[in-house]
Structure formats: C-alpha cells, structure tokens
Homo-oligomer: A and B are copies of this chain.
Amino acid sequence: MNRWLTEEEQRAWRGLLRMTSQLNARMNRQLLQDYGVSLTDYEVLVVLSEAPEGRLRVFEVADALAWEQSRVSHQLARMQRRGLIAREGCASDARGAFAVLTEAGRAAIERAAPAHVETVRQLVFDGLTQDQLTTLTEVTSRVLDRLAATAG
C-alpha cells in the first residue's frame, strides 16, 4: 500500500514545514540578538516558569517539550553553566533529578517575553481571521489526538 499525498495535501504539508522552520529561525534570531537566549533556552524557561516554584523533574521537561531525553540533558547542562537554571540531583537517577529556574533565569524570560509575544502576534495572529484561528486550533488538536492514540 502506497498512498502518496495529493497535490493539495502536499502544498499544505510543505507550507506547514516551511512556516514552522521559518518561524523558528526568525524567533531564534530575534531572541539571540536582543536578549541573548536561544529559542530553545526560551522554551525551557517557559516550561519551568509555569511550574510550581519553577521546578520540574528532567523527564517532565522532556515530556512537556516532546524532546528526546539526551537533548534535554545537554540543553539543561548548557543552561546551568550560564546560571539560567540549577539542577538538584537525584544521584541514582538522572531523569528523576530536578531542574529549577534561578532568579537569573526568571529575569531572562521576563525580559524576553513581551517582544517575543509581539513577534508571534505580528507574524501569526494579526493575519488570521476568527474562523482561521478556530480551525487552526481544531487541526492541531486533531493531530495531537492522533499522535497520542498511536504513541508507543
């Protein structure tokens, strides 16, 4: 069985890939230039800043971002060296260790967030109608449901 995408599906799929890739590149460049944090740093800071006391286990960070464990570990190590987070160990189990937002980490996200959100508004939401916004939410939930249903 080999079902290729229709032309229309292919257009939608490539549009989605290009959009995501270009949005990420733009957001990353802006965050780095203006605030000295990468998009990846920013995503980790968001996840921690929303957790109670800015604290999560390493595997919870991985789950929240849908990242591989090794990527999260490397990223957290880099952020720890720069003082954006601290780690509180669980000597027996690296996945069970905690990542904790430091004051510097919280200050970094508070500085960067307003301009970052403004960029997202300008590039994405200011250009969408209410119907398009509703449909975008439907589409993402639909796909996320399918991902969850086939997770293994």
Contact = CB atoms under 8 A, between A and B. Distances in A.
Interface stretch (A77-85, A96-104, A112-120): A112-120
A141 B13 contact: no
A68 B26 CA distance: 10
B114 A147 contact: no
Interface residues of A, number: 56
Contact of A137 (B15, B120, B122): B15
What's the number of copies of this chain in the assembled complex?
A: 2
Contact of A118 (B1, B120, B143, B147): B1
A140 B2 contact: no
Interface in A121-152: 121-125, 127-128, 131-147, 150
A18 interface: yes
A32 to B, nearest CB: 10
A121 B3 contact: yes
A139 B23 CA distance: 13
A12 interface: yes
A135 B137 contact: no
Given A5-B125, A25-B67, A25-B68, 7 more contacts: A8-B137, A9-B121, A15-B136, A16-B140, A124-B143, A132-B139, A132-B142
